[in-house]
Structure 1
Amino acid sequence: MLTPSATQDLIMVGGGHSHALALRMLAMKPVPGLRLTLVSPDSLSAYSGMLPGLVAGHYRLEETHIDLQRLCQATGTRFIRARAVRLKPEQRRLYLDDGTHLEYDLVSLDVGATPNLTAVPGAEQHAVAVKPVADFHRRWQALRDELAERDRPAAITVVGGGAGGTEMALAVAHALGDRADVSLVTAGALLPGFPAGVRRRMTRRLAARGVTLHSHTPVRQVQAQRLLSDDRELPHDFLLWCTGVRAASWLSDSGLPCDDQGFVRVNDTLQSPADARVFAAGDCAAFPGDLPKAGVYAVRQAKILTRNLAAAAQGQPLEPYRPQRRFLSLLSAGGRDAVGSRGGGPALAGGWVWRWKDRLDRDFMDKFDRRLPRMDAAARAGAPDDTLHCAGCGAKVGAQSLSEALAALDPVIREDIEAGVDHADDAAVIRWPADQRLVQSLDYFPAFVDEPYLFGRIAALHSLSDLFAMNAAPHSALATVCMPRHHPRLQSRDLHRLMAGALKELNAARCTLVGGHTIEGPQMAAGFTVNGAAPPADLWHKSGARPGDVLILTKSLGTGIQLAGLMHDLSRGPWLDATLDSMLRSNGLARDAMAPLAPNACTDITGFGLLGHLLELCEQSNLDARLDLDGLSLLPGTEELVARGVMSTLKPANDQVLTRCEHRDIADDDPRLAAATDPQTSGGLLFSVDPGLRDAALAALTQAGVKAAVIGEMSVKDHKALTCITLNRNAPC
């Protein structure tokens, strides 16, 4: 992943409409030297205009969400899947829920707003907020499954008579039909601020759908199965909260000027009046004149936000944002029906209005799908010194950048290390016990993601995996790191994040970082020489498998296919999330669970793929193996990517192992066969276990939180192929 040089960091917090559009525009007209980073807790960002249609069943989940992973890949933006928890403008630092922080030169906030459940006693305990949408959608799906088994209608109550609540009540009524009695409760009149014609038409549609409207009914308290108002009690089995909004608490805790609801105040250039380096847009911004929280403003703000971020980075004048006075408002009415108006004009209603709204919504989402801009590294040109850069002196990273990056890191300290990273000596000095064996391994590879903290964690885990596969206790590590050619300030930030990620995993494994080497290059890369210790009798080898042993594999397959899909812009955010989560699970958990059971043989599954490493185990143990494809677990999306011809560049070389295998009655394009030769990064462990310990091994792994499955067995070497691949355990070889 080639990285153009940069001199400034722009951190964009939140994947709202303004930021999504701004990333497209910044990609089409990049700012030299400006590096973009998007921070979001989820890879999918909901488009609010299509949420009622999702609930009503008109759209699939992926049609209503912007894939932020894919957007960032296409626009050359670093993506960090984390939640912001603190902002310190005076230090230009953003703190994340993973315990790390980001330093910025400019920061833009577009984190939206959530329904305020704290305003009414009991609402936090008993109501379901419609945002964040990911949480709401899971609850909604669970409700639908529950109602399918219910023998009487459920009482579904929606609180909030604004546009969101009214659309939600109609969507729920359409989706559930006679399985639910839907009520809409509002403290005042229905749809305040909308033209009378729109209110009348939506009221009629509520009645036609059987939705009971309780207007002028403020909710005073929420209990487990009822709402309490001034003069009545309303029962509910499922309560949706669509009224009142609040800001994330960390916005007001930042010390920036905020309004009474905690939203960041901005001036007409969308900057904080207290700090010109801080921008905000969308619902989290409090614009002069109390601008309503509406998506139409966020969409229009994107253009000015983009221009002003670029101008601020280049020291140019900024432009004012002028909110539109008239705009089109279209409300979904449950079925393929909608009601709307423009600027308070006459109301429009009917199926043709819904088709109009559907066309506008799909056109907006198409900007992040088929019309997504694709910018290569050259188009995202960096600083003008990219073309000529001295690589003398070992191409080392500058001493100041290095010392700044390492200053705040805290490696675990072992008593048997006499000189390590905290000394100025030329090499590490380690005392080694006489009764232990030194187990040593080295891994190094270029980054496949441009987020240093994430890559540092995966690089460390991948390197440690060889020690875990031999049942050695990690002891110490040396780092080899290549950093892209950025301004020294940015290099220091990146190196700190990479090493912080690596130390998170090294420290968890009680492995001390004792030193390393850093260089500059065109792309980020990292690796570790790791040292482990074990008594000779405790070591696991590939040569100990026995006939009849069951083969147990941890982790799902397909990381190479998934990363190839990412490079070809065919991956999807949820697929990549699952892939990265798998890579981030330490094999130390599986090693610890299996150590008391003393497996006969073990290997980790990395670059040669499952079949390649199984072949090594067969050759070292002088046995054959039987692999059952039905036992293999594939990462989400892997089958679809294989069907589209996606493969890792190393896979053709790995496929040579198939000449050593019998695989009759298995199609050449079977995705499980493709996954079996797919090179893995930070893959799982493959154990050869006595059949009598099969259930105990699976139970121990499950208790440790390790996903594992029996995928075959070892057999006496009595046929020409080392591995027999079958569709299931009972199929003949």
Structure 2
Amino acid sequence: MTPLANHDLVLIGGGHSHALALRMLAMKPIPGVRITLVSPDALSAYSGMLPGLIAGHYTLTDSHVDLYRLCLTTGTRFIRAAVTQICSAERRLTLDDGSTLDYDWLSLDVGATPDLQPVGGGHPDIVPVKPVASFHQRWQQWRDHDSPLAVVGAGAGGTEMVLAIAEHQRQAGHHGALSLISGGELLPGYPESVRRRMQRYLDDYGIQLREHTRVEKRGDALYANEAPLDATRVLWCTGVRGTRVIADSDLDCDDKGFVRVNETLQSRSDSRVFAAGDCAAFPDSLPKAGVYAVRQAKVLAHNLNAAISGQPLQAYQPQKRFLSLLSAGGKQAVASRGGTLSVAGHWVWRWKDRIDRAFMDKFDRQLPTMTPPAADPDTLHCAGCGAKVGSGALHDALRDLQPYLSDGIEAGVDAADDAAIIHWADNKRLVQSLDYFPAFIDEPYLFGRVAALHSLSDLYAMNATPHSALANVTLPWHHPKLQGRDLHRLMAGAVKELNTAGCTLVGGHTIEGPQMAAGFTVNGQADPQQLWHKRGARNGDRLLLTKPLGSGVQLAAMMQKNKLYGPWLDATLDHLLVSNRIAQQVMQGFPVHACTDVTGFGLLGHLHEICQQSDVAMAVDSDSVPLLPGTLSLIENGVISTLNEANRQVLMHCDTQQIAESLLTILCDPQTAGGLLFSIPEAALAQALVQLREAGVNASEIGKVLVKNGDSSRDILLH
């Protein structure tokens, strides 16, 4: 039985404190609490390895926490989105996709944003290091240039960064001039011995150090101490402010937009809100450093548990001394621990490397598995009509939805009638389809969008115009408050896609069950002369596929959490959210002889259906079939959809001509919200590809239609 939950704890940001706290909470779950992590990025940078990444010592995977894997393993919901508004008075978040998310308890670990006030809020030549999570992407845009580069800020972060850039240039054979600019002295607060050692490393790379220098903007130009700045690229590593979403919230913040917290990491204005890391403003003006965020994680995890459970909280006490390990470009580093002594060399870098890799291993091989809290043995769940979701939760979830209204809707979801009433024109055809499946991801809004798009795809495959829809939803057994929240997010996602399609939600049915599931009965109208069918493919036609394959494999990787890779899953989800409506509208201007959507039976299964209905054969160029990133790699590592074996029955109708086993697996891979497959005349191919790509559909020609030979058992030739 799914463990019951009656409280939502939402974590915003995937920083060091939250990543570590999730590990701890997984090992000691809070009874009755469902945890959700919200972050705009699937990968979270570990700041200690960021200079090594820039220098070329580490890969992106080495130096970033995969938040999808972390959340799946620890039983945490993950929402890939940015929070645009925090309203603690209503305990509600607004996300950048337009949806809302309610919470009972909230924790913030969103880092900080660069303070660019000295340069008027920004400049096109300036790239800020923070937020760290997205810095690597910004750096990639202009790293390989020989033009002069200046790093502003000579603290630990700026000094390590300019040395890392110098090492990158050395390895890449670039020779752009580098300078390190500081408003004060080099590495303020560090022992003199550390500054001397790091100065020597700067000198070895030929990096110019400019101390007591202020960079500011005058007009459109950057100046350093009254003189034009001799740099066409500037990396900003000094001064930070609170993020806009926190500064604009109703939480108590300091004059730089950081959340004021007390010694228990609780907001001073709302005890149900916690904050850690750079976004928190402590009474003693704690420096913004990752070593503090790491130490705060244990207190944060304990206090979240204690606050929700009504137990005493702990006070966070910052360490007065800590080991400092500064990387120095190449595989060398400087170590110090307070006082005046320091050591340096390659052996120090190897020491730092072991510490950093051990930290990252906590989120790889040492990820704990969530032990669910026991379900309430006194709570019974009815079947039959008794399994319906309560009317209060249902009303609250649907109250704010604003479904699009199609012509002819006499009674829909806004009415309390027992069924929808729809007027239908006599000269049109009603096209109707039903899809329903369990949630593949524990994120109701995203799942609602995909479920709606998947259902609508059958209408697009027949060239019908969506008109109305009925929802069928199963919600997990939880407190009615949480069920209402889930239903609201799921239906908000579904209505977003239905409204875009001009399809009216006219009603539906909800029940409780062990797992979230959803589907839609969709109605469409069509001119009988314009309908597309699976029959009609002709000899010489070309085959067009509008989406890459691999979603079945990618979603199966979510079940094998150690094989999941966040960026690959991100790309998959992005493709699932592309509506087939775009391709349908483009192809209405071309002669379509046959069409279907590629879904549960896999590409070969749906090709075989067209062959059977059209009495033709097909030749498929397997090398031209587009694939989602990482799909081949996952298959080679043993990831496969459970439905793949059943889909492989179609291979008895195929001439595989020694096609690789991994490719056969992809061609039989069941697709969720897959693309459209068109059979069109060869003469229309070039223009169709141009217009599809102009509309944002990256369609591919994957084969052609042939005359069926005498062997009716073999109708698909793979080569």
Fold match (TM-score > 0.5): yes
Q: Which residue of 1 aligns with 2:176?
A: 180
1:197 partner amino acid = S
Q: How many pairs were matched up?
A: 714
C-alpha deviation, 1:387, in angstroms: 6.4
SS of equivalent to 2:521:
strand
Per the alignment, do residues 437 and 70 of structure 1 end up closer, same or farther by CA in structure 2, a change over 3 Å counting?
Answer: same
Is contact 2:261-2:268 (8 Å) kept?
Answer: yes
C-alpha deviation, 1:229, in angstroms: 2.1
Q: Which residue of 2 aligns with 1:61?
A: 60
2:164 is the alignment partner of 1:165: no
Is contact 2:125-2:232 (8 Å) kept?
Answer: no
Q: Which residue of 1 aligns with 2:213?
A: 217
SS of equivalent to 2:618:
strand
- The aligned runs of 1:122-521 (5 Å cut-off) are 123-133=122-132, 135-144=134-143, 146-147=144-145, 153-177=146-170, 178-221=174-217, 227-375=222-370, 379-381=371-373, 383-385=375-377, 388-521=380-513
Q: Which residue of 2 aligns with 1:19?
A: 18
Q: Which residue of 2 aligns with 1:731?
A: none
Separation in 1, partners of 2:7, 2:135: 37
Q: Which residue of 2 aligns with 1:620?
A: 613
Is contact 1:608-1:678 (8 Å) kept?
Answer: yes
Separation in 1, partners of 2:683, 2:607: 21
C-alpha deviation, 1:223, in angstroms: 7.4
Separation in 1, partners of 2:55, 2:651: 49
Q: Which residue of 1 aligns with 2:566?
A: 573
Is contact 1:7-1:383 (8 Å) kept?
Answer: no
Q: TM-score, normalised by structure 1?
A: 0.95
Gaps of 5+ in 1: 148-152, 728-733
Report Cα offsets for 1:18-70 as digits up to 9, x if no partner.
00000000000111110000000000000000000000000001110000000
SS of equivalent to 2:679:
strand
Separation in 2, partners of 1:10, 1:234: 48
2:285 partner amino acid = D
Per the alignment, do residues 223 and 344 of structure 1 end up closer, same or farther by CA in structure 2, a change over 3 Å counting?
Answer: farther
Q: Which residue of 2 aligns with 1:562?
A: 554
C-alpha deviation, 1:725, in angstroms: 3.7
Q: Which residue of 1 aligns with 2:652?
A: 659
Per the alignment, do residues 223 and 633 of structure 1 end up closer, same or farther by CA in structure 2, a change over 3 Å counting?
Answer: farther
Per the alignment, do residues 223 and 46 of structure 1 end up closer, same or farther by CA in structure 2, a change over 3 Å counting?
Answer: farther
Report Cα offsets for 1:360-389 as digits up to 9, x if no partner.
0000000000101122xxx21255248632
Per the alignment, do residues 3 and 637 of structure 1 end up closer, same or farther by CA in structure 2, a change over 3 Å counting?
Answer: farther
Is contact 2:444-2:486 (8 Å) kept?
Answer: yes
SS of equivalent to 2:118:
coil
Per the alignment, do residues 561 and 383 of structure 1 end up closer, same or farther by CA in structure 2, a change over 3 Å counting?
Answer: same
C-alpha deviation, 1:719, in angstroms: 4.8
Is contact 2:118-2:216 (8 Å) kept?
Answer: no
Q: Which residue among 543, 564, 580 is the counterpart of 1:587?
A: 580
2:631 is the alignment partner of 1:638: yes
SS of equivalent to 1:501:
helix
18-27 or 237-246: bigger deviation = 237-246
C-alpha deviation, 1:139, in angstroms: 3.7
C-alpha deviation, 1:649, in angstroms: 0.7
SS of equivalent to 1:326:
coil
Separation in 1, partners of 2:571, 2:131: 20
Separation in 1, partners of 2:384, 2:455: 28
Gaps of 5+ in 2: none
- The aligned runs of 1:578-727 (5 Å cut-off) are 578-667=571-660, 669=661, 671-720=662-711, 721-727=713-719
Per the alignment, do residues 692 and 477 of structure 1 end up closer, same or farther by CA in structure 2, a change over 3 Å counting?
Answer: same
C-alpha deviation, 1:173, in angstroms: 0.7
Is contact 1:74-1:372 (8 Å) kept?
Answer: yes
2:544 is the alignment partner of 1:552: yes
Is contact 2:119-2:222 (8 Å) kept?
Answer: no
Q: Which residue of 2 aligns with 1:524?
A: 516
- The aligned runs of 1:20-59 (5 Å cut-off) are 20-59=19-58
Separation in 2, partners of 1:363, 1:126: 37
Report Cα offsets for 1:511-562 as digits up to 9, x if no partner.
0011110000001000000000001001000001110000000111001111
1:140 partner amino acid = W
RMSD: 1.4
Is contact 2:452-2:497 (8 Å) kept?
Answer: yes
1:261 partner amino acid = K
Separation in 1, partners of 2:154, 2:215: 12
Report Cα offsets for 1:313-338 as digits up to 9, x if no partner.
11111111111111111101000010
Is contact 1:559-1:680 (8 Å) kept?
Answer: yes
